[in-house]
Structures are given as structure tokens and as C-alpha cells.
Chain A
Amino acid sequence: MFRKNTEKPRTPGPGGAGTVSAAGIAGVFRDCYDFELRKLRLGGEGLEVALAFVDGLVSGGDISEQVIRPLTEARRFPAGTTAQGAMESMLSGSVYAYTAKKRQNLEEAVDDILNGYCAVIFDGEGVAVTFEVKTDQRRSVEAPKEEKVVKGSKDAFVETMKTNTSLVRRKLHNPHLKIRDFSVGEKSKTALTLIYIEGFTNPEMVEEAAKRISAIECEGALNSGIIESGLVDNPRSPFPQVLHTERVDKFCLNLLEGRFGVLVDGIPFGFLAPGTFSQFLKVPEDHTQHFLVASALTLLRYFSVALTLLAPAFYVAVAMYHQEMIPTRLMLSMIEAKQQVPFPTAMEALMMLLAFELLQEAGIRLPSPIGETVSIIGALIVGQSAVEASVVSPVVVVVIALAGIAGYTMPNQDLGAALRICRFILVLMAIALGMFGISLGCALLVYHLAGLESYGVPYMTPFAGSEGREFSRALLRRSFQVKRDREPALRTGPGGEAKL
């Protein structure tokens, strides 16, 4: 969809390619019904200029009051005002728009117009002055939908870049907070900002991120996937390597830990890197709860990772090859339950895993009210009916359901999806090689994770690469009364202990 198109669009103009003119701009916006171009006389009777804008991106009221009215006032632009004089006057504040830019390049002028500016074009000079008059029509800041916290702030990112950056600025009143802007996508020219704290965030990481962002080649950056794949070190790995969050406080907290953030216009969440495995198991509520509670819940999440990954494979291996591990009473009831089931254990497990995935997909794709109902009905009725019809044994249903529920405790859905893929692979290895297959599969999985890096930070930090000193940081949350060192892996700037 976003293959690079090397053919550059032609932008003809009377002054030649690249110079600003009304005809040139009109030519660019040919066949655009929302494009407006009107002629104005400065001061009412003076020099003729053209006003170009895209209706829908600009505020009509602001254009009228802040741009057209002062342009047509004779006291501001008396008769005989030259183009140069008019331009200087506009740039000096005679026009009330809070942003004014002088553009001598057609492409820049077009970009401005597409970003909610209106352009006052001086045809004879080949120059335009653009004023920001963006419309206020945007989604308002709402509470987060996915990452809900009881005792936290209730603002989440929206689609508008400037709103998002302002939300960040409101939380971090730090003059060293830098926001570098980029444009991604040949045709969409999506705005993207790289946010970091100068002197604190590792500059090598920042420069590497800037390089990668600049290297993103696509025609349109309208979804997060293209941005993520450009940011990560290993795009082929199913495991997420970049955090994303809709919460502004979580975004800022990670900036304060030494990460850098990326905001993209049109995408209502922020990206954070470097991302490590332990980060994907943290939730915003960890910082609002008591440290013991937060630590216990973090450990529960790690347990859930093991459960979702290993439970089905463990069951298959034990039921097929290692029945001696099953306690006698349980074994008797399992044998009894399996008497009428025509399928072997391996098929049962695979069928139930597939059914679980189908129900989950159906629940997501269907509209909300139906989707929830389908999921519940599917889970209860289909599962129960399958057991009663002796299509599957109840133990398999329990095991797969447990594994699925454990997967839902993952705070990050990308991680949950990656674990689901690995779960399937481990089940296949258990079918082929029993417990040996599971251990070999897990060893290879750990090897794969150990090989991942995110901007020079090992993915399995702090379990690996931290010299054994930061282990507890991943599993437990220390009390805020205890002064903590920053994460050494992020190689932040000087400053000693972190104060939170």
C-alpha cells in the first residue's frame, strides 16, 4: 500500500516550477472542491492579492476577522503600498494571525495550506505569506479508553498533533523538553514529532531515532504500523519493541525515565522507545497503588505470561507422553471424560485454540453490542455444547480458557498477540516432542528475545545485560520513599539519583 513512488508530482506555475503563484496553487488544487481562491485588494483599492485556503481545515471566522478584515482596511494598507511593504506589514503584525510565514517555494506554500494555513499570494513577486487559521473542529481531550486508571489523570492523546504536544508540555514544564518535527509520507506528509529531554535522554538514541524517522519511506503514514516498523530494530520479530500509550502521564513518565517519545499527527497515542520486555508488563496503575500491591500484581502478570504460553503445551505433552505426572484422581476423571471423545488430545487442543482465536476475532470485528454477545455466547454455549456432545473433553476447555484469560491480562495487546503465536508453536512442538519439545521451544524463544535490542538496549533488560543488579526492578516496584537509581540501560545524562 505504501510503496515508495519515485515520481514527484509536477507543480506548474507561471514563474516556472517551484515559484509561488495563484495559478500555480490553483493548479495544484485542481479538482478539489474544498479549495477556495479569492482575489482581494489591499486596503480595499490597492494592490491585488489572492487568498487561498482549504475550507474545512481553516476557521472561517478567524479568516474573516483576523486576515480579510485587516487586509482590506485602508489605514493598514493605504493606496500605493508596494508588495514588499505589504509583506513586511503583514509579517510585523498588521494581520492578527498568531503565526505568519513567508514562503517563496510553491511546495512550502502548498504544505502550509494543507496544514490549516491560508496563503496571501503576491503573484508578481512569486511570494506568499501564510497565516495559521486552523479550525477548532477536532476531537476534544477525553479520558483514556484502553488504559483506565482509577487514581490517575483522565486525559488521553487525540489525533491533533498540537493538542498532544500541548498536553505533554502541560505535564512537563521543562525548558529542556525538545520537540523536533518531521514529515513522513511522500503523499500524506504526515507531521511527526520526536520528543526528548535534552541533556538527559541519551543523545545517541535520539539521533538514531531521528535518522530512522527520516529514513521511513512510504507514501502515507496514516497508521501506526508503518511508524513502528520504521522505529524498531527488528521489524520481523512479532514481539513489540516500541511502547505505545494513549495516556499522557505514562508518556511523560517514560520521558522522565530516559526514553524518547514520538507523536504522530492523526494517531491518538504516543510511541516510546527503547522498549524492553519488562516495560510491556507494566501498567499505569503500578504508580498509583501501594508498592506491595503493585509488586504482587506485576508478579501475577509474569505468571500469566508463563501460563498463557505454556499451559496448553504442557497439557498436550503431559496428556500424550507423560501421563505419569498426572495425579491419580485427576487421571481417573480425565480418562473417564475422554472415553467418548473421538479426537486425539493433540487435535482437541488445536481445535480449541483455533476456536478461541475465532471467537476473539469475531468479538473484535463485530460492532460492540453484537461482538460482546457473540463472545459470551460463543464461549459459554459453544464450549459447553462441545463438552456435552463429547467433541472435546472438559479439561481441554479449562486449560485453553485459562491460557486465554491469562493472555488477556497482558497490558500490551501486541505482546499478547506475539505470545499467542508462540503458544501455537509450543503446542506443535509439544505434540511432536513432548516435554523435550517444550523446553527446546522455550530455549529458542528466550534466545530470540535475548537477541532483540531496542536502540542498543537489550530487550530482556533487566533480566539480561544489567549485571544482575536490576533484576528486582522488573519484578517489583520499590516504595517511593526509597531513592532509586535511574535505569542504567537507558544511559541517561548525569544527575545521580532519580527523584520521583
Chain B
Amino acid sequence: MKRAAAIMLALSLALGLNGCGSGLTIFSNYRRLENIELVRTVTADAEGGDITATVYSDAGKESDPRMYQRTASSIGVALGELQLMALGRVALLSHTENMLIGEELAAESLGECLDYVERYSEMRLDTGLMIVREGTARELVSGLSGPDAPSSDVIKGFADNISRAGQGYVFSCREIIASLCENGYALAMCVAGEKAEDKLFESRGELDIRPRGLAVLTAEGISGFLDDEETTGALLVLSKYRSKDMDIPVGDTVVTLDLDGFETQVRPVFDREGALRGMKIKLHVSANIINLSGTAEVSRRDYRERAQDELSRELREAIEAAVGRSQEMGIDFLDLRGFAARAEPIKLQDMPGSFEEALPDLEVEVTAESSIRRTYDIMDPPQTAKDKEVKNPWENLIESLRDS
């Protein structure tokens, strides 16, 4: 008992040493809840040779969102100096959901920003990273903010839903950093602001955030950008889409397909000497019909096959565009090397030269297969009275059997 009392007394000394210079407390980590400025979005732009860091915080229902900005020689110093904000508030970066970096800064010092995220314990690695084109990041984020729609909500919604909408994919800092460490390159989502001409809701800001393809990153910075088709091809190969809607023209009609199953197989092709000659990329996609403009019988097999062929062609072209860009840049941002290593690790290790050297000359054969699995509720559009033909039901049965 005496022993326990002695230990408790010794431990309780920690309580009494609040603020003591000897540091036998952890009160230096104490933050008063009411003084916290909850940062949800961080932006960084180049400003001369310096970096301007801006944080956007939400303060709940009763207060307006706030923005704090600081310019300094590095992002760490800028965000550190932000702590010296008015009203004694403390910026808490641990809830940062997305980080937007201006194109100019990304080209010069993206590695520094990523290093800050990786090193600083408050930041989370799964923070989404986006590169802002056609303007600065802070202009975009400020322009997104509306009376009832804080910019952080808009950006979070964009980031969460873009892969579901099939318009892109927001890579997290972890994915980018891991890819840069392992492969020397990475992809990052690009965005830009568009003036919101038709404001459907008063609560929206002046700008809308829109995807602008992908940026190819290397250790030095941005090596190039992918346009929309190349972006689609790249994300298909990397299986980053959750779903995607595409309009496919079939004759006079346009059928809208919801793509929801993506499977990519990539196999290397080696010659007898063991040199890498090419790659075979095979994509399989499953789709559902969600809309049909015009009159067509989707229940008919030949119609669906035409739609599938057209879809496959478009997807193949997108992948070919991405592959072509990769070969043109000499950067394997599609991670074809990784696919090859998993498929034929020994042959890849034994091949003469490096994959990067062989990449520009590889013969890449792309095959895309798609299958339409279902349509929802309505098989064929209802016929008008004028077009209706009264058919013998036995004839209908024979026709449908012939189709299947």
C-alpha cells in the first residue's frame, strides 16, 4: 500500500508541473476545443519565389467558413506561421480532406508539399491531392464558396464522387508518394474553375470545379498533362473508375451505358532472346443500359452487339491514346512495368536493358470487350398505336428464340 501510494504521489507530480520548463507534462500538446480552427482544405500557390498557403476552415452552422493565408519560403513555415492567427485560434490540420496546389507550384516544388504531408504528424496521408490549372488554387477554392455551401464541402463532394461519375479520380497523397517512391512517377488529378453561368441554386459560389485530366508527376515536378481521352484510358488501365456513364451512338439512336465492372489484364510479350517486344492489354467492361434516345429494341441481340462493339472501340481508342502518350513521354505512368513484373517476373528480371528504355518501342496491342448485362425496368420503348403491329404470338416466340 505504501508502495502504491508512493507511486501515485510520484505520478501525480506530473499534474502539478503544468507549464513547468522541465517538460514533465504533455500540456504542450493541449488544445482547447473552442479555440480550434478545423481546417478541411489547404491550398498552396507559388508567389514569386515563395509559397502562399491558405487554409479553409469550417466553423459549423452558426458561423461562416473562414480563410487564413500566409506566404513564406516553404509550405511548412507558411502553415506554421498561420498559427499566429487573430483571436488566438489554433489551426488543426488533422482533418484536412483535400489539398489543392497551383500548377506553377506543382511544377516547381510538388515534392516539398508531399514531403510536408508525409513528415508532419498532423497531416493524413489519405488527403486528396489536386493540381489546379487555369488559375491559382486559392482563387478556385474561394470562388467555390457560397452562402450555404462551404468550399470544403464542394471540394469533398467533388473528390468523393468524381470516380463514381466516371470523370476522373482524385489520387491521395499516399498513392502519389508511394508511386513516386516505387516507380519514380505518379499521376495526380487536375481541376480548374469554371464560371457558374447558370446558377441553379443561390447557395452556390461563383465558380464550379471541373476536372481537367491528369498530370504526370516525376521527382522533378510535372512532366506533362493528359487530355480527357488519355485520362479515360489511363484510369481504365489502372482500374480507378467505380462507374462511368457513356453515350454510345448506334445507328440513329444513342444509348447511354452505365459502366460498372472494369477488369484489366496486361501481359508482356517477349521474343526468343528474352527481350520485351510488346504488351497485350485486355480490358473487360460490363455495362447496363440506363437511357435510350430514339427508337430501338434493346432486347434484340444484334442491337446490343452493335452497342457493345461501339463501346469497345471507344474504350480501346482511349487506352491506345493513353499508351501512346506514355510512350511519347517515355514515362510508364500506366505502370505497365508493374503488370509485366507480376505476370512474368523472371523474364522481366532477365530481359536486356530496362523497361523504361524498351517502352517507347513496345508494340502494344489493346483489346477491349464489353458486355451489356441488363437494362432497368423497360426492355424496349413502348410503341405508339400507329406503329403497333399485331403479331402472332408464336411468331414472337420464334423470333426471340432466334435472337437468343
Contacts and interface: CB of A to CB of B under 8 A. Distances in A.
Is chain B in direct contact with chain A in the complex (CB below 8 A)? Answer: yes
Interface in B28-69: 29-34, 36, 38, 40, 58-63
A335 B38 contact: yes
B26 A323 contact: no
Contacts of B122: 324
A485 B14 CA distance: 49
B94 interface: yes
Nearest to B152: A328
Contacts of B92: 323-324
Interface stretch (A163-171, A410-418, A430-438, A453-461): A430-438
B350 to A, nearest CB: 48
Contact of A324 (B1, B33, B63, B94): B94
Contacts of B26: 321, 432-434, 436
Contacts of A109: none
A236 B26 CA distance: 32
B4 to A, nearest CB: 8
Given A321-B26, A431-B15, A432-B15, A328 B40 contact: yes
A339 B38 contact: no
A423 to B, nearest CB: 16
B33 A338 contact: yes
A333 interface: yes
B95 interface: yes
A428 interface: yes
A334 interface: yes
B299 interface: no
Contacts of B30: 320-321
Q: Determine the interface band of chain A, counting residues with CB < 8 A from chain B.
A: 20 to 34
B286 interface: no
A448 to B, nearest CB: 8
A130 interface: no
A344 B29 CA distance: 14
Contacts of A334: 33
Q: Which DSSP category, helix, strand, loop or mixed, fits chain A's interface? A: helix
Contacts of A432: 11-12, 14-15, 25-26
B20 to A, nearest CB: 13
Given A320-B30, A428-B15, A434-B29, A335 B95 contact: no
Q: Which residue, of B1, B12, B26, B97, has the highest number of chain A Cβ atoms within 10 A?
A: B26
A332 interface: yes
Given A324-B92, A341-B34, A433 B14 contact: yes
Contacts of A324: 92, 94-95, 122
B14 A345 contact: no
Given A336-B59, A433-B14, A328 B95 contact: yes
Contacts of A433: 14, 26
Interface string A197-239: 0000000000000000000000000000000000000001000
* A-B CB proximity, top 4 nearest: A324-B94, A336-B60, A338-B34, A332-B60
Interface of A: 236, 319-321, 323-324, 328, 331-336, 338-339, 341, 344-345, 428-429, 431-434, 436
